[in-house]
Structure 1
Amino acid sequence: MKFISKNLKLLTVFLLVLGISACSDDDDNNIPTSTTVVDVAVTNGFTSLAEALTRANLVTTLQGVGPFTVFAPDNAAFQALLNSNPAWNTIDDIDIDLLTTVLKNHVVVGSTIPSSAISDVGVYTNVDATGPENNNLSLYARNNSGTVEINGGDGTTTAPRNGADVTFADQNADNGVVHVINKVLLPPTIIDMALANPEFGSLVASLTTDGQPDFVSTLSTANGTSPAPFTVFAPTNAAFQALLDSNMMWNSPADIDTALLTAVLEHHVLAAQNVQSVDLVQNGTTSPVTLQGQTINIILPGTNGNIADVVDGAGNDAGIIAVDVQTSNGVIHVVNAVLLPAS
């Protein structure tokens, strides 16, 4: 069993954070005190979070004006993080750059998001952590039958995920709100974000169909390692259903010829490119080459309610309906039709 630190060290960090929070009171007792998101964390006894924030020099930042939405891992969540790596016995053993990125992955800067704003459809927002091309990472929050799940929740014993569940919501501060979560949120990959949103269930089923390449491993490749980063055009469940309905022999992705399904899936991926919407030719056409080898055309502005129009390799029309779901190893754009290569 690993321990986050000795009790004496935790007490020292805890008192340090308390001291920073209270120092302004000693300067002028007539100045009204405020409760920050750091104070909320300290009050709730999150000593591990306090230690991590202190080491990463983020305490003063989170005592700023904000507003902030902080997803605060409890002490057990930090202990589980340490247990996941045999080289990590204390917070001090985690690389400081990694620790800082992980902590910023829990902080939304510039807005206060109450749990009531998180619906069963789910919402995307950006956190303070950054990924490829220094773009802010995305966070996906969804109310799943009363449980607010972050980046897909923590899953089940048989199907674990890399997200977390909110266990105690809406701890309000003067500069934001804190939601307590039961796992530390690591920067998500393309696969993590595909698993998080049930709207991509058919895409995940296709990627993991028997006979397909190991798309999960490929699309989990760390940024900076070939062929990452990726740009993925992710069809919705309705888009996949329309594809299945186009052939009376197709009732599921498994019914599609293996080589054809591979070509179709690869036609949705750009390798070694993190193409956000701002990187596209504005008022014109961008024509990237897909992993499958053929070109797609992306036209801005879009028509018929699309953010952008897409013409696939077979000459069919599709639309981009949501953009810039940024992950640690690429970006996802949502499309309303499955893109088909030329036969």
Structure 2
Amino acid sequence: MKVVLNFLKLSALLAVFLFISCSDDDDGTTDPPMEETTTIVDLAIDTADLSILVEALTAANLVETLQADGPFTVFAPTNEAFTAFLAANNFASLSEVPNDLLTDVLLNHVVSGTNLSSSLSTGYVSSLSTAGADGRNLSLFIDTASGVVINGVATVTNADNEADNGVVHIVNSVIGLPNIVDHAVANGALSSLVGALTTDNNTTFTDLLSSDTNVYTVFAPVNDAFTAFTNPNDNDINSVLSYHVIPGAAVSSDQLMNMYVSTVATNADGDNLNQYISTDDGVLINGTSSVVIADVIATNGVIHAVDGVIDLPTVTTFAVADATFAPLVAALTEGTPATDFVSVLNGEGPFTVFAPTDTAFQALLDSNMEWNSVTDIDEALLTSVLQHHVVTPGNVRSSDLTNPGDTSPSTLEDDAIKITLPGTGDNIADVTDGAGNTDIGIVVVDVQANNGVIHVLNKVMIPDTTN
């Protein structure tokens, strides 16, 4: 009897609970029944062929991440894909994969946003993995030319599995963490570069750019750039390729500015060649090659695709590319038509050029009321002045100068200048010109070209006009 009574009491309490739960709100409406939410994790759990993925997400503590609002796009490897990944990397089981590596790899399959297959297009997106150089988000290359292929290794086999917090595309391979070479190989628009890097079974570049002991910034010419390149100076192609690689830094587009950078390529003396990067209108290298795709992030650096092969520079390359030297270029061309300075300074050299800035030339013009531009200067005088800024033969770098002390090289004008290290004030070095002027300073040193080196002056030097 007690059992029956207890049962009746329980039933009554349940009825009251249900009545309260289903009663009208204060505004007279009835609460709708709770709707179930299907997250990306729920979808993976319900898909038998994604069981290892679920196990991996659990081991890496990423379940809550993919249960969050997102939205996310997940490229989900099958069990077979995970099995192949473990075998290829000599892991007997998922438990042997280091947790940080597992986390980076899994997040490299996740992209922000709901990206259905109909909205995917060929190009780069950022994954949630921060295994990129300097902790940046790795890039994924999506190729939709034939289906959907990610980083050249994983093909979507079952697309558009929608969840409430995103979408899952099932793929047939685990997407590894790409280095610079992996990204170059994945993008068909860089196939000519890959071919040039590996011709005659050359492994120098692939070994270098696959290394995880250093980071690099690579300006990668697209296929059309290689087609258009005629190698007019007959430079060694391996040197040209090396000239596209900046070692020691992964420089993203937002870090680029008007600047000189040092490359892997060297001159005959083993001095690393510089590039001049201008950001006044987009990103332009040496005044000839523009960045068309920026910030392809790899584990060991960054790639910026460019629309032109960047040839090895001469000293005139930098003079023309750097707007600071615009008056110098005008002096070398328009101001001295009887002397083909450009051909001379594009020659074999090596030359050491002391290049006055635009401010330095303006000060020279201001010193004579009759001069409004460099073309107003008497051509014979201007020719003598320009020759006074070139030392040859020799690639005289700052490390070749006496420090501390004086170095007195001879110029093309047949008189000497005196360089004194260390300099005074903001000068790296002080200079005494042929006319005895001592208020001249070198403000930038060692801008290295293939046929010589440039040092930047804050004042135009005047030769000894009495000899």
Task: Provide the C-alpha distance between the structure 1 equivalents of 2:305 and 2:260, rounded to a whole number of angstroms.
Answer: 17
Query: How far 1:235 sits from its partner (Å)?
Result: 0.5
Native 8 Å contact 1:148 1:166 kept in 2: yes
For 1:103, which of 106, 109, 118 is the aligned residue?
Answer: 106
Equivalence for 1:132: 133
Distance across 2 between alignment mates of 1:118 and 1:201: 22
Following TM superposition, the consecutive aligned residue runs of length 4 or more in structure 1 with deviations greater than 4 angstroms are: none
Larger-gyration structure (1/2): 2
Superposition pairs of residues 298-313 of structure 1, within 5 angstroms: 298-302=277-281, 307-311=282-286
The answer to whether the aligner puts 1:286 opposite 2:286 as a matched pair is no
Q: In structure 2, the residue corresponding to 1:136 is in which secondary structure?
A: coil
Structure 2 counterpart of 1:327, one-letter code: A
Task: Report how far residue 266 of structure 1 moved.
Answer: 0.5
State the 1:211 CA deviation.
Answer: 7.2
2: distance between equivalents of 1:73 and 1:301?
Answer: 44
In the alignment, is residue 218 of structure 1 matched against residue 191 of structure 2? no
- How far is 1:115 from its partner? 1.3
Q: How far apart, in 1, do the equivalents of 2:223 and 2:191 lie? A: 7
1:64 aligns with 2:40: no
Give unpaired runs (5+ residues) of structure 1: 1-27, 153-162, 248-255
Is 1:243 the counterpart of 2:229 in the alignment? yes
Q: Give RMSD over aligned pairs.
A: 1.9
Greater relative contact order, per chain length (Cα 8 Å cut-off, separation 6+): 1
**Which consecutive unaligned segments of at least 5 residues does structure 2 have?**
1-30, 266-271, 314-449, 451-467
2-structure distance, mates of 1:92, 1:211:
38
Q: Distance in 1 between matches of 2:74 and 2:292?
A: 28
CA deviation profile, 1:105-147 (whole Å, cap 9, x unmatched): 10012x111112233xx121000111211110000111132x2
Deviations 1:33-73 (A, max 9, x none): 11111112112221100000001000011000101010000
Percentage of pairs with the same residue? 42
Using the alignment, how far apart are the partners of 1:230 and 1:216 within structure 2? 13
CA displacement 1:227-282 (0-9 Å, x = unmatched): x21110011111111104x66xxxxxxxx97x71011000000112111112223x
What amino acid maps onto 2:264 in structure 1? Answer: L
Are 1:200 and 2:203 an aligned pair?
A: no
1:19: which partner in 2?
none
**TM-score using structure 2 length:** 0.57
Q: Secondary structure at the match of 2:100?
A: helix
**Superposed displacement of residue 212, structure 1:** 4.4
Letter of the 2:68 partner, please give it: G
The 5-angstrom pairing of residues 161-180 of structure 1 reads 163-180=153-170
Give the Cα separation in 1 of the matches to 2:32 and 2:201: 70
Contact 1:212–1:262 under 8 Å retained in 2: no
Q: Is the 8 A contact 1:115 1:169 kept in 2?
A: yes
User: What is the total number of aligned residue pairs between the two structures?
Assistant: 276
Residue 144 of structure 1: SS of its match in structure 2? coil
Instruction: Check conservation: 1:200, 1:234, Cα contact below 8 A.
Output: yes
